[in-house]
Amino acid sequence: MELRAQHGLLKSLVAKKILMALTGLFLCLFLVVHLSGNLQLLIPGYSGRLQFNSYAVFMTHFPLIKIISYVLYLSIIIHVLDALVLTIRNRRARTVDYAVKSGYGSTFASRNMGILGSLILIFLVLHLANFWYKYKFGEMPYMVSPEGHYVSQKGEAIPGAVLKEGHLWVDGVDKGPAMKDLYEVVRLAFGQSWIVAIYVLSMIPLGYHLAHGFQSGFQTLGLRFGKAFSVIRVAGWLFAIIIPLGFAIIPLVFYFFPEKLN
């Protein structure tokens, strides 16, 4: 009976590890897409502002993207809960702690995935509060063309339009929703040194977390040996450097070189 219970527990742990690997790799894919979209912030001038705001409209209104976003939220929740359960079970399983703790055979990231993940989760909450929540539910500025006309959600400047409850009206005719200016919210946020510092420093635990998680995810799914895993290991380190660096560059450019974006 006890053997059967242990076998069931082992199967449960394996299933949780596989689920965490799948959600983690899905989140890695999301980071690539998210960074690609955010890099549009570095396109200078009005065209860059319009392109980024149009991207924000697409990401919040296109039906397929909305469905994927729900999958993303669910993946984050599952990933966090699985990590928490596995951490608790691993600690309970270690009934006698080691007399001498050594880092031999493990990396800093692998030994501290819980701490790194917690720091990333705190940053994620702050990030969502600063931008996603404000865009969806808070007070937002609306985009204006260089000529001073409001811009519709389709990206068209509407001369003589009046803004009423988020819609543009011309001579009593509703021309559709106005485009929210998320670019301006980002610009103002990254003009503050403490916000820039938080964003840049938060990329350090993200990098370490990705360095171990990327490789560990593929390893959990069975790619453990041979040339394939060697390629994954190198790709994992490159991914862990390029993605956080890309995200960190954006606030740094806004803070130190704002004139480059005008």
| Predicted confidence (pLDDT) per residue in 13-36, tens digit | 667 777 777 888 888 889 999 999
Residues 38 and 81 in one domain: yes
pLDDT over 60 at 5, yes or no: no
Q: What CATH number corresponds to the domain at position 79? A: 1.20.1300
Mean pLDDT of the chain: 84
Distance between CA atoms of residues 31 and 196, nearest Å: 19
Q: If residue 221 lies in a helix (H) or strand (E), which one and from where to where? A: none
Tell me which of 129, 162, 179 is where a domain ends: 179
DSSP secondary structure, 91-124, as one string:
HHH--S--SS---TT--HHHHTHHHHHHHHHHHH
Residues 48 and 83 in one domain: yes
Residue 148 belongs to some domain of the structure: yes
Residue 189 belongs to some domain of the structure: yes
Distance between CA atoms of residues 167 and 151, nearest Å: 10
Residues 71 and 196 in one domain: yes
Residues 120 and 205 in one domain: yes
Q: What residue type is assigned to position 111 of the chain?
A: R
Tell me which of 158, 179, 200 is where a domain ends: 179
Residue 13 belongs to some domain of the structure: yes
State the total domains in the chain. 2
Q: If residue 240 lies in a helix (H) or strand (E), which one and from where to where? A: helix 226-256
CA dihedral 148, 150, 152, 156 (to 10 degrees): -20
Residues 113 and 239 in one domain: yes
Residues 228 and 188 in one domain: yes
Residues 112 and 170 in one domain: no
226-256 and 2-38 helices cross at what angle (nearest 10)?
Answer: 40
Mean pLDDT to the nearest integer, 38-42: 96
Sign of CA dihedral 97, 101, 107, 112: positive
Q: What residue type is assigned to position 73 of the chain?
A: Y
Contacts with 132 (C-beta within 8 Å, 6 or more apart), sequence order: none
Residues 126 and 163 in one domain: no
Token couple for 169 = 């009206």
Residues 39 and 168 in one domain: no
pLDDT, one tens digit per residue, over 174-199 is 999 999 999 999 999 999 999 999 99
Residue 100 belongs to some domain of the structure: no
Q: How many CB atoms lie within 10 A of CB 261?
A: 16
Domain coverage including residue 165:
142-179
Residues 134 and 221 in one domain: yes
Q: Which residue has the higher pLDDT, 244 or 234?
A: 244
pLDDT, one tens digit per residue, over 73-106 is 888 887 777 777 766 666 665 554 444 444 444 6
CA distances from 90 to 84, 168, 173 (A): 10, 57, 64
Residues 146 and 133 in one domain: no
Tell me which of 151, 179, 207 is where a domain ends: 179
Residues 114 and 165 in one domain: no
Residue 101 belongs to some domain of the structure: no
- pLDDT grade for 10, boundaries at 50, 70 and 90: very low
